[in-house]
Amino acid sequence: MDHSSLLIMQSLPGTLVALRKKTGFARSTVARTVVKLRADHMLYIAEWVESAVGPSGPLLAVYRKGDHPDAVCPFVTKARVKGQPIDGLGRARAKAIADAERVSKVRDPMLWMLFDVNVRF
């Protein structure tokens, strides 16, 4: 176990932001180390808390030592029940498909003039 892993393990429990403040490491170092420790089953997500922004902000994962199952994010559960896309890429894809369908229903007069054989100039 390297130096950053040891310091982060000693700084637990906490969110990524709290771990960054406690250790003084860069955001990328903390995130990379947490991913590595989770892959080694040394950390788990104990709970989800509101960010400093408040209820409109993102939920933050609170990490603790141990090999337990992760706490389920309330937003993910709510989206799965409604059948909505869960990740940002899924939402972007669904919006792009909806926009393409909407645009395909609207006829652009300039395009019709270019490609319609019955229009004479």
Break the chain into its structural domains and give their ranges.
3-83, 85-121
Taking the C-alpha atoms of residue 110 and residue 116, their distance in angstroms, rounded to an integer, is 10
For the chain, the average pLDDT equals: 79
23: pLDDT strictly greater than 80:
yes
pLDDT at residue 97 in the model: 72
Taking the C-alpha atoms of residue 79 and residue 17, their distance in angstroms, rounded to an integer, is 25
Architecture of domain 3-83: Orthogonal Bundle (1.10)
List Cα–Cα distances, 56 to 12, 47, 51, 59, in angstroms.
26, 18, 9, 9
pLDDT digit string (tens) for 28-40? 999 999 999 999 9
